[in-house]
């Protein structure tokens, strides 16, 4: 019998490795940027065409490579970072994976120019399908330029799985931001289809954060800095007012490498307890430096998921550091020391501080918090008055007003006809509706009663309305008397540009204004005016962090986000008229009993069931 086990050809083995390492254009961007950082570059330029499908080029001014190293870099398991097994546990560099360039060369047409400072000539290499097509001396700048063309040209099945250019460009931006955020002392630029998207001059970490996330963060960052023998943590967290309803600008770096960690996210979130609503998420850019032997970065091919030797210590330290920073911020507001005549006349200045007053102050919990040792960061849970102003920022300010929207029939006629005719449920219109806890609506029916969740019910109503508009019957737009200008970070601007046609179908009129700016000319006619900017910013956040389930189209995700955002919130008081119109509209929906995500909009309690509950 013939032997049947054979070694795979190099090009096929490399393609298999590429399946783990290069999953999309952004994966290649990450690898090439990290190699440029490790080369000691002070300037790194990323150029992409067609969201990386046609071209990904990284140009750096690093130390470059010899002709031998340039050729060896594309071999499998080739790396300059590891000599023995122990080195795997002492890695402090970024691009150490021995599969990276070999994987790139297996799925793209690659050209590289590289030159060291002391060499007169550089090296030019051209590789296709893991085979060197050309290698020759060339004139080039000091450093390295690598171009990847026609990604997955030899693996058409993989290319077919790539998403739209807008979606792939967002992934590229994510990887670019993560690397450039970690190294603020390096110049980075990103050019897409000939247009410069990012131009990040070297500077401090705070300057880099503002460059990337936008000027709105400039005065809203709290500095975090703690050092111990075991680990250091530094960076910035956003003030409570910057918290968002979705996971937004959250960046964790361990030894300058971006990581994803729900565990550490939870540590930061708990540090914000009582300062932001429980359904909001703080923004932060935090760096943890510790001995590489205390962390395993080889648990996932992308190196974005890691394992700490002692997670509990890291968790406690992160939580304490953030709490300490927030406490310093909250007890040390900026003071104006210029004292005018009005202040001089206040009782606190003009009248003596008696012994009785002194005893009263000294016995207060606030005084004790300031005077007892190690209590500066302590906030009593029982006293939440100081925190109310943070919470008020997140209360729904401009939700759709159901009263302002005309009902399908005059209210008078609704009062004399059954409101709900579907599901064999008939709401008795001649009885008063009851709102419970400003969240639920109790309505009598011919066979018992129903308990309606007002937010979920309204979400179903709005979903049907927006879905109809998005698929043909475009909603009316109310023009803004004074158009609002909206400035966004580059990544958000790219996303909004991609969403403009779909936003138009549901009533938004938004026009690009250059340099990541937009002008809001109009909004859907049934949305309250006055908060257009916040509405679109929140919509972008929700869309970015929507489930990545591929069964939903871009337009479907947008409709669901809109319905969730504009629905009246639990806790909002409704009038009899508003409750009546809501229930009427709910039972004219195609599927009134559940939200688009499958949550029930109401529960039905029948009379025979109620009788059994009371033993009758």
pLDDT value at 198 more than 60: yes
CATH code 3.30.230.10 for 206-331: yes
pLDDT band for 93, please (50, 70, 90 cuts): low
Q: Report which listed range, 18-22, 49-53, 127-131, 401-405, is most confident.
A: 49-53
Average pLDDT over residues 546-562: 75
Read off the DSSP letter of residue 294. G
Q: What is the CATH number of domain 402-604?
A: 3.30.1370.100
Of the candidates 128, 105, 125, the one whose C-alpha atom is nearest the C-alpha of residue 64 is 125
Q: Quick one: tokens of 601?
A: 């909009």
Phi, psi of 101 (to 5 degrees): -70, -30
Residues 6+ apart with CB under 8 A from 613: none
Fold of the CATH domain 10-200: Heat Shock Protein 90 (3.30.565)
Residue-level pLDDT at 17: 52
Q: Distance between CA atoms of 199 and 133, rounded to whole angstroms? A: 35
pLDDT value at 136 more than 90: yes
pLDDT value at 547 more than 70: no
Residue-level pLDDT at 419: 47
Percent with pLDDT over 70 in the chain: 74
Residues 6+ apart with CB under 8 A from 163: none
Give me the residues paired with residue 57 across strands.
Answer: 47, 147
Burial of 343 (0-12, 13-18, 19+ CB in 10 A): exposed
SS (H, E, C) 443-508: EEECCEEEEEEHHHHHHHHHHHHHHHHHCCCCCCEEEEEEEEEEECCHHHHHHHHHHHHHHHHCCC
Please work out, in degrees rounded to the nearest 5, the angle formed at the alpha carbon of residue 78 by the alpha carbons of 28 and 14.
55
Q: Distance between CA atoms of 51 and 345, rounded to whole angstroms? A: 66
Of the candidates 31, 34, 36, the one whose C-alpha atom is nearest the C-alpha of residue 17 is 31
Average pLDDT over residues 109-119: 93
Convert the pLDDT of each residue in 321-362 to its tens digit.
Answer: 999 998 887 633 334 344 444 444 445 544 555 556 556 555
Token pair 């390295």 is at which residue? 144
pLDDT value at 271 more than 50: yes
Task: Say which residue, 255 or 296, is predicted with more confidence.
Answer: 255
Residue-level pLDDT at 70: 86
Least confident of 65-69, 193-197, 297-301, 413-417: 413-417
Give me the residues paired with residue 485 across strands.
Answer: 519
pTM: 0.68
**Which residue ranges does the chain devote to CATH 3.30.565.10?**
10-200
pLDDT value at 601 more than 90: yes
**Which residue ranges does the chain devote to CATH 3.30.1370.100?**
402-604
**Which residue ranges does the chain devote to CATH 3.30.230.10?**
206-331
Least confident of 415-429, 437-451, 560-574: 415-429
């Amino acid at each position: 019998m013939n032997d049947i086990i054979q070694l795979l050809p190099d090009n096929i083995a490399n393609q298999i490795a590429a399946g783990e390492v290069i999953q999309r254009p952004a994966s290649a961007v990450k690898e090439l940027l990290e190699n440029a950082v490790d080369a000691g570059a002070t300037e790194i330029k990323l150029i992409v065409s067609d969201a990386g499908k046609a071209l990904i080029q990284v140009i750096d001014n690093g130390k470059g490579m010899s002709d031998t190293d340039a050729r060896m870099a594309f071999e499998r398991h080739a790396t300059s970072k590891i000599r023995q097994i122990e080195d795997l546990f002492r890695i402090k560099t970024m691009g150490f994976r021995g599969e990276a360039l070999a994987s790139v060369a297996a799925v793209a047409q690659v050209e590289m120019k590289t030159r060291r400072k002391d060499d007169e000539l550089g090296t030019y290499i051209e590789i296709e399908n893991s085979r060197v097509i050309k290698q020759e001396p060339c004139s080039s700048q000091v450093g390295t330029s690598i171009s990847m063309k026609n990604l997955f040209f030899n693996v058409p099945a993989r290319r077919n799985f790539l998403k739209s250019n807008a979606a792939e460009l967002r992934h590229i931006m994510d990887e670019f931001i993560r690397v450039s955020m970690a190294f603020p002392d390096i110049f980075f630029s990103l050019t897409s289809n000939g247009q410069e998207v990012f131009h990040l001059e070297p500077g401090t970490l705070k300057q880099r954060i503002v460059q990337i996330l936008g000027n709105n963060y400039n005065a809203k960052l709290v500095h975090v800095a703690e050092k111990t023998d075991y680990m250091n943590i530094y960076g910035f967290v956003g003030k409570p007012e910057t918290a968002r309803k979705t996971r937004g600008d959250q960046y964790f770096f361990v030894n300058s490498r971006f990581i994803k960690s729900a565990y550490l996210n939870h540590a930061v979130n708990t540090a914000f307890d009582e300062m932001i609503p429980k359904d909001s998420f703080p923004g932060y850019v935090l760096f943890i430096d510790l001995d590489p032997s205390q962390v395993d970065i080889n648990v996932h091919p992308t190196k974005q998921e890691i394992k700490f030797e002692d997670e509990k210590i890291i968790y406690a330290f992160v939580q304490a550091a953030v709490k300490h920073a927030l406490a310093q911020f909250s007890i040390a507001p900026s003071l104006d020391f210029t004292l005018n005549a009005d202040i001089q006349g206040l009782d606190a200045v003009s009248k003596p501080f008696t012994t009785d007053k002194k005893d009263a102050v000294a016995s207060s919990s606030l005084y004790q918090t300031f005077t007892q040792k190690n209590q500066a960061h302590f906030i009593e849970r029982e006293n939440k008055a100081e925190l109310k102003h943070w919470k008020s920022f997140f209360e729904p300010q401009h939700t759709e007003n159901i009263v302002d929207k005309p009902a399908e029939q005059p209210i008078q006629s609704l009062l004399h006809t059954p409101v709900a005719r579907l599901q064999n449920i008939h709401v008795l219109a001649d009885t008063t509706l009851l709102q419970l806890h400003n969240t639920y609506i109790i309505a009598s029916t011919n066979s018992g009663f129903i308990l309606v969740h007002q937010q979920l019910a309204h979400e179903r109503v709005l979903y049907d309305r927006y879905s109809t508009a998005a698929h043909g019957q475009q909603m009316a737009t109310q023009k803004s008397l004074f158009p609002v200008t909206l400035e966004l970070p580059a990544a958000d601007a790219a996303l909004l540009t991609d969403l403009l046609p779909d936003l138009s179908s549901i009533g938004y009129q938004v026009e690009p204004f250059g340099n990541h700016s937009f002008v809001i000319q109009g909004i859907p006619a049934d949305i309250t005016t006055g908060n257009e900017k916040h509405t679109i910013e929140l919509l972008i956040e929700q869309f970015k962090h929507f489930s990545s389930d591929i069964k939903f189209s871009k337009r479907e995700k947008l409709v669901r986000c809109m319905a969730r955002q504009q629905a009246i919130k639990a806790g909002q008081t409704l009038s009899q008229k508003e409750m009546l119109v809501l229930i009427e509209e709910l039972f004219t929906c195609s599927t009134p009993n559940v939200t688009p995500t499958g949550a029930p909009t109401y529960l039905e309690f029948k009379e025979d069931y109620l009788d059994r509950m009371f033993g009758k």
